[in-house]
Amino acid sequence: MTRQRKAILEMLKSTDTHPTADDVYGAVRQQLPHVSLGTIYRNLEILCHNDLVRKLDMAGAQSRYDGDMSQHYHVRCIYCNRIGDMRIASMTFAESIKYAPKHFVIVGHNLKFLGVCSDCRKRGLEDEVITS
């Protein structure tokens, strides 16, 4: 575990904001001023590959990173791309087998929710969704 990788991991474990690689870079540079953006990207990939960090690919938004490896889902604001955690019971492996078409073997699942965050609702953007 390199010093840079440890700083990235600690940063991600201490936040629930689901930062982008650029956000991680900005935060880690405060601690390690000479770290490069390339180092951040390489280490994020290594941390993801080793199941220490989760990469969130949310359609229509930059990839985000999550240091919380517990089973949970995510919701993305359709206006500002803010991401929040959704702690709801997930489908078990046994349940997934029950619902799978016969010609599929289930190896995992990924469920994403879309919504409007409280900041965007305060700005009245929610009305656009409801009336559309």
- Asked whether the whole model's pTM tops 0.85, one would answer no
What domains lie within the chain, and their CATH numbers?
1-68 (1.10.10.10), 70-132 (3.30.1490.190)
pLDDT tens across 11-59, in order? Answer: 999 999 999 999 999 999 999 999 999 999 999 999 999 999 999 987 6
Which amino acid does the sequence have at 121?
A: R
The interaxial angle of helices 3-13 and 37-49, nearest 10 deg, is: 70
